[in-house]
Chain A
Amino acid sequence: DAGITQSPRHKVTETGTPVTLRCHQTENHRYMYWYRQDPGHGLRLIHYSYGVKDTDKGEVSDGYSVSRSKTEDFLLTLESATSSQTSVYFCAISQPSTGELFFGEGSRLTVL
């Protein structure tokens, strides 16, 4: 295992409420990513980070924000959750030498 822990693993919330998902790594890797996985779309990049306080947008960043105050933690926040954000969210880190992505086990979010 690549030492990636996501929390919570499951969450049900209501439309309009804020949600924060946490990703914790023990590998001390510089790059961390948040993806969402939806049927028919594969995995789509939401945001990524290339260092503490250094983040950038991905393909589907609208409605999401991220923060990285420590190397080991990367937070994904939905300021006001919508039903279209019901998805499985995966955190990943990348191996610097190969670019290989290592994924966490996912966080299933349901927005009612």
Chain B
Amino acid sequence: QQQVKQSPQSLIVQKGGISIINCAYENTAFDYFPWYQQFPGKGPALLIAIRPDVSEKKEGRFTISFNKSAKQFSLHIMDSQPGDSATYFCAASGNNNDMRFGAGTRLTVKP
């Protein structure tokens, strides 16, 4: 069973809008929650990550919101740009080097 559930599968946003991608996890031993960005033909690359001791982390236009009690976290992309069009993966891991990924969200930002 998938330990990290991600939604939506695809997302279309107008330039300047806000993109929101949600993830939920099951394993309470997870203590590291990264988001990866992947462009076609490339490997995923770390975008931003959070640990459960904080509820929010912001880096530029990208923000992770984390709700430990609900076992949910989300990625917000403010002022979305066409260059943000990519596939985004949430992930979660504990101390066993087994990082679990969500199924991915294909984001398209229309100019």
Contact = CB atoms under 8 A, between A and B. Distances in A.
Contacts of B45: 102-103
B42 A105 contact: yes
Interface string A23-47: 0000000010100000011111100
A44 B45 CA distance: 16
B102 A42 contact: yes
A106 to B, nearest CB: 6
Interface residue SS majority, chain A: strand
Interface residues of B, number: 25
Interface string A65-77: 0000000000000
Interface string B79-111: 000000000010101000111111110000000
Contact of A43 (B44, B49, B97): B44
Contact of B93 (A42, A44, A99, A105): A99
14 contacts: A41-B103, A42-B4, A42-B104, A43-B91, A59-B100, A98-B49, A99-B93, A100-B34, A101-B34, A101-B46, A103-B43, A103-B44, A103-B45, A105-B42
Interface of A: 4, 31, 33, 40-45, 48, 50, 58-59, 90, 92, 94, 98-106
Given A4-B43, A50-B97, A105-B41, 7 more contacts: A40-B9, A58-B98, A59-B98, A100-B34, A101-B44, A102-B46, A106-B43
